[in-house]
Chain A
Amino acid sequence: QKEVEQNSGPLSVPEGAIASLNCTYSDRGSQSFFWYRQYSGKSPELIMFIYSNGDKEDGRFTAQLNKASQYVSLLIRDSQPSDSATYLCAVPFSGGYNKLIFGAGTRLAVHP
């Protein structure tokens, strides 16, 4: 089992819909969680960070964390074609100094 799991997709949603991306992790000691967006041929960029159970909202993005169930999700409201990218979940593992592990990423395609 990978330490951080994501569905690879592609996840296809129509413009204006809500896109829901999920991530599970194996290390119960992990405390903080990151979502990165990566456009094709580019470097990843941070879009959300969460460390408390519950929801965290930033514009059209909402991160949801459930430590008991060991999953973190990302909701994108009013999806736009410009949101089409690969979304990577990242988790720093408790066994090492900031050992940051990424999931395989979910490819999102928003169609007009």
Chain B
Amino acid sequence: DAGITQSPRHKVTETGTPVTLRCHQTENHRYMYWYRQDPGHGLRLIHYSYGVKDTDKGEVSDGYSVSRSKTEDFLLTLESATSSQTSVYFCATQSGSANEKLFFGSGTQLSVL
């Protein structure tokens, strides 16, 4: 399967602290996505990227920012973490067409206390 690595896999942090999650891919895929998954909500799109330095907001972007300075890395930052951002975060990539499947990372479990 595609080489997608999310780090860290688990993180516990305190309210008000900044947090950065990293997604690294080795497949040279153009599109990269950050989703969060909470019970009853499925996968909700936070931000996505359609190229280096090209990003756009998703459904639930408030409180999150992203950056993509290289094709292989897509960073998600919580500027000041809140308890409502406790969730499982998935990174996904897609090669170059809307008809291609997503490749998912293993997820990051984030707990904000």
Contact = CB atoms under 8 A, between A and B. Distances in A.
B25 interface: no
B35 A31 contact: no
Contacts of B105: 43
Nearest to B59: A101
Nearest to A2: B59
Interface in A34-69: 34, 36, 43-46, 49, 51
A2 to B, nearest CB: 9
A51 B100 CA distance: 12
Given A8-B40, A102-B44, A104-B40, A97 B31 contact: yes
Contact of A88 (B43, B50, B54, B58): B43
What is the interface of chain B mostly: helix, strand, loop, or mixed?
Answer: strand
Interface in B63-105: 90, 94, 98-99, 101-102, 104-105
Interface in A67-112: 86, 88, 90, 92, 96-105
Nearest to A8: B40
A51 B99 contact: yes
Given A98-B31, A100-B33, A49 B101 contact: yes
Nearest to B104: A43
Interface of A: 3, 6, 8, 31-32, 34, 36, 43-46, 49, 51, 86, 88, 90, 92, 96-105
